[in-house]
Each structure stands twice: as structure tokens, then as C-alpha cells.
Structure 1
Amino acid sequence: MFRTSTAPDPSEFARKRVVVTGGSRGIGAAIVQRFLDGGASVVTTARTATDESPAGATFIQGDVSSNDGVQAFATAALDSLGGVDVIINNAGAARAHLGGIGSIPDEEWIDALNLNYLSAVRLTGALLPALRAAGAGSAVVNISSGAAVTPQGPMAHYGAAKAALAAYGKALASELAPAGIRVTTVTPGNVLTPGADALRQTIADAMGVPLEATTAGVPLGRPGDPRDVAEAVAYLASDRAQWVTGANLVVDGGELPTF
């Protein structure tokens, strides 16, 4: 069970303008709420709003899997906020193919790249002039996935796209460092969200095991809560991480084989 040790500082992100993709549920919604709790103004987007969508954010319905959708959202976000200080590229999804890599249709490889990787490249590019105008102290945080660290056949397209996202973030961090703009990546492990739960259920059914078995190997004894990831994102976007860029913070309860 996630434990909250202290309440967020309500002024930590005061006057910060934050853009979050995929913010209607799960990890995205937790990230949006964390920035709201810290006093930020937040604009978020998803294909549809849900009951999890935080009420304090400005929600703009959209689809960032296409360049046109990204450009439309970027324009609307800047109109709403008047600028941007923090970009959180969280949008992501894919379908498991139990037949392995060879069973993944070509169009789903393209879809996975568009949503999980190119959406971040396009949105960051569209907002970069505003981010540069905000100056030193602004930040980009990309949300990757444990599937990028331990890719499996049924989700190879998703893992490949998220691995590309981490590589892009590392390169962008070096390029933007002279401007004082920090770029980091968060790689979640097994986190309980509606989308991830549906994927795990598909895999559990194929294996003939209960859903709980798919998260039983986490060394810290429990699967992740979306707020675990949101706290990591808040740290990386804050002045507490002012000397951190190009880093990939793994938030996984100790499960992934990383060094």
C-alpha cells in the first residue's frame, strides 16, 4: 500500500505552467494531481476524460498519436497557459500479441512509435520555443516503461518505442543543458493502472495464473501505485533536482535488472 509521509508543499510549483499528456487516468492522472497539489497550473490531454481526470486541471481532448493532433494540443495548451515551464510526456499504450514478435502487424509497430515515442518528440519540439523563453529551471520528463528494459515478444513494439524515448531524452538533455533546461526519464515497473492491469490480465489468462502472480516478484513486496511514479516525476521537475539531467530514474520496487 502506498504511504504518504508528508503533504506536498502547496507552493512548490507555484507559478509553474505544466503540460501533461495522457493525464486522464492512471499514472498520468496521478502526475497531474501531484502538480496541482504543488500549486501549478496544469493543462492535460487524452482521447477522452475519465472519472480519474483531476478536476483542477484544464483538460483538452485530443489525440497526440498524430502530428496534427500534437500541433493542435500544443497551440491550445499555450493559449491556456500563456507559456510552459514543465513538459511531462506520459502518453502511451499498446496491445499485447501473445503470438510473439512475428504476430505484431506492421501498422501496430507504427502506432506504437507514434503514440509512445513520436508524440513526445513532436510535442517537445512544438513547445521548445516557449520552454526556452521560460529559461533556466524549466524541465522535460519523459515516462518510459520497464518494457524498454526487459522487452518481451508480445509487447516488443511497445518496449522498442519506449526505449527510443529514453534514448531521445538522453540526447535532448545534452543539447538543452547549456540553456539550463533539464531533460530526464522515469521508467516505471509494475504499476497498478487500468491499462497495465488489462495487459497483465491478458498475459495471466494465457499463462493460466491469477492476475496477482504477474506482480508477485517485486522485491519491495507490492506492485507500484501511480503516486509512486508521480512523486519521482515531481522530484525531477523541481528545483530539488537542479543538478540532474540526462538521468533515467527507475521506479520499480527493485524488480528490473538495471545497474
Structure 2
Amino acid sequence: MELKDKVVVVTGAGGGMGKAISEKLLTEGALVVGMDLKEASMKDRNHPQFTAMAIDILNEEAVASAFAEAHEQYGKIDGLVNAIGMAQSASSIEDVSLEFWHQLMNVNVTSLFLTSKEAAKYMKPKQQGSIITIASISAVRPRPGLQAYIASKGAAESFSRALAIELAPHGIRVNTVHPGPTDTGMLGQFAAPGADVDTAKKQIFADSVPMGRLVAPSDIAESISYLVSDRAAMVTGAVLHVDGGRGL
């Protein structure tokens, strides 16, 4: 219960890593505000310390209103976990439309700007806080055909490092987690169109991990629990690889 009474906002809480992260934080005693596009995606979190908010994470006014509501409810915001994300199916750059590029960049990068901006507003007066962004090991170990996705995750890392140095004097820590291939519903979306999802998981993704298995959402959740906690009081600007050696 080392996170007892810490108020943590988790975006993308409806499924995959976001769901696992919110559930882990709840077991550690945190008060979790889950934000996702549809409230129904979070209905399974029937927990007295979980608040579900359905918002468009790319709507600046909606994001500001949601953070204001969370702050009004709890009186503080101790942590933000940016777990929302969008995948790219493997394809050559000639086949990537400008519309898709903008959509992916908005989800994977612009959303971080909007949420981090609001979190910092409420963390600065308390002179404490932790902002964590889920990026991807592909930012440092790219694979062919994922150029837009990789660019977005590289931007996410750089943005986090820039915030870390900016917010350090205010006691706010900012870190990045680079997951390796993770066993969530999003994994199959990285396969080339028409490819068998199970085959892609087993033969392409799992085989690329030196430790011999896919990363579990719970593996990511454990790292988030640490970075939110006071155990990581002097950890900022860090990039934590939770990838089973995929980035080596």
C-alpha cells in the first residue's frame, strides 16, 4: 500500500497496458482517475477508489475540464501516466497517408502535451508529482515499416526528457517507459495487413525478445508503480526499458 492516497491519472485506462496499470495502482492504495474515450471500456473497474472519465484526449477543453474535475474531487494530482497509444500496421512509407500521419502523431504525441500541461498546473503548487509516458522500445530499436509510429515514440521520449529538466526545480519527476512487444490487443495491429495475428505474435514479436517471451501488461504496471512511488524520489529524465532485452 505504498501508494496509499496518491491521486494518479491514467489515460488509455480502458484496456491493455492502461487497464493493467490502473489495476496495479489500485492494489497499491492509489486513488486512480481513468481517462478513456468510452466510459464503458472501464466499467470492469468496480472499485471505490477508481473514477472513470470518458473524454476525448485530443480536445483541449475536455482535457482541462477533466483534470479540473479530478483536482476538485481529490484536492491534488500526484501522478500522471500517459498510457494512451495508437499502432501502425507495417507498411512502406509510400503507403502512409498524410491523414494517418497526423492522426497517429496527435494520439501519440499531442495528447502528451495536453495532459502533461494540465498535470503540471496542479503539481507545481504542491512542489511534487510524477509524470510517466509509455513510449516504445522501437524508438531506439526500429523495425521496418513502422516509420510513423517510431517517429511518434521518439518524440514522446524527447518531450519527456525536455519536461524532466524543466519541471525538476518544481519537484516534479518525468520519466519514460519503453515496453518491448507486449501481449495486448494492440500487438496484432503492428502486423502487415492480412497477416495472421497469432503467427505475427509468436514468430515475429516473441522471437525477437532475448528473454524468450512477450512482455506482459503486468510487467509494465510494476515499473509504473515504482516510478510513481517515493522509491523513485530522485529518478527523473530516465528511460526505463521493460523489453526482455529487445533493445540490446
Same fold (TM over 0.5): yes
The match for 1:93 is 86
**Partner SS state of residue 65, structure 1:** coil
Equivalent residue for 1:164? 155
Residues 84, 131 of structure 1: 8 Å contact kept? yes
Moved >4 Å (runs of 4+):
201-204
For the residue of structure 1 that corresponds to 2:236, the secondary structure is coil
Shift of 1:157: 1.4
How far is 1:52 from its partner?
7.9
Q: Cα offset for 1:243? A: 1.4
Measured after TM superposition, the shift of residue 203 of structure 1 is: 7.5
TM-score by length of 1: 0.86
TM-superposition CA deviations, 1:14-56 (whole Å, max 9, x none): 1211001001111101110111011111101111233785322
Determine which of 70, 73, 84 is the counterpart of 2:63: 70
Q: 1:22 aligns with which of 12, 20, 25?
A: 12
Write the letter of the residue equivalent to 1:211. Answer: K
How far apart, CA to CA, are the structure 2 residues paired with 1:246 and 1:203?
39
Q: 1:210 to 1:188 in 2, by over 3 A?
A: closer
Matches within 5 A, 1:1-259: 10=1, 12-48=2-38, 49-50=40-41, 53-56=44-47, 57-98=50-91, 100-136=92-128, 138-200=129-191, 202=193, 204-205=195-196, 209=199, 211-214=201-204, 215-257=206-248
- Count of residue pairs brought into register by the alignment: 244
Cα distance in 1, alignment partners of residues 96 and 113 from structure 2: 24
Q: CA deviation at 1:217?
A: 2.5
Q: Is the 8 A contact 1:186 1:250 kept in 2?
A: yes
Cα distance change of structure 1 residues 222 and 152 upon mapping to structure 2, 3 Å threshold? closer
CA displacement, residues 95-144 of structure 1 (integer Å, 9 cap, x when unaligned): 3152x1121111111111111111111111122121112323x2111110
Query: Is residue 65–residue 111 contact of structure 1 (8 Å, CA) maintained in 2?
Result: no
Unmatched 5+ residue regions in structure 1?
Answer: 1-9
Partner of 1:4: none
Q: Equivalents in 2 of 1:42, 1:168: separation in Å?
A: 24
Where structure 2 has 5 or more consecutive residues not aligned to the other structure, the ranges are none
Q: CA RMSD in A?
A: 2.2
- The Cα offsets for residues 72-112 of structure 1, whole Å up to 9 and x where unpaired, read as 332333233332000111111133152x1121111111111
Q: Please state whether the residue corresponding to 1:159 is helix, strand or coil.
A: helix
Asked whether the equivalents of residues 23 and 53 of structure 1 are also in contact (C-alpha less than 8 Å), the reply is: no
In 1, the alpha carbon distance for the partners of 2:188 and 2:99 equals 24
After superposition, the C-alpha distances for 1:190-211 in whole angstroms (9 at most, x for unaligned) are 11001123434747449x9553
CA 1:160–1:210: 2 relative to 1, 3 Å = closer
Counterpart amino acid of residue 164 in structure 2: A
Once the two structures are superposed, what CA deviation does each residue of 1:181-239 show, in whole Å capped at 9, x if it has no partner?
A: 11110000011001123434747449x95531021221112111100001011111111
TM-score after normalising by structure 2: 0.90
**CA, structure 1 residues 239+83, in 2 after alignment: closer, same or farther (shift >3 Å)?**
same
**How far apart, CA to CA, are the structure 1 residues paired with 2:183 and 2:139?**
18
Separation of aligned partners in 2, 1:217 and 1:153: 14
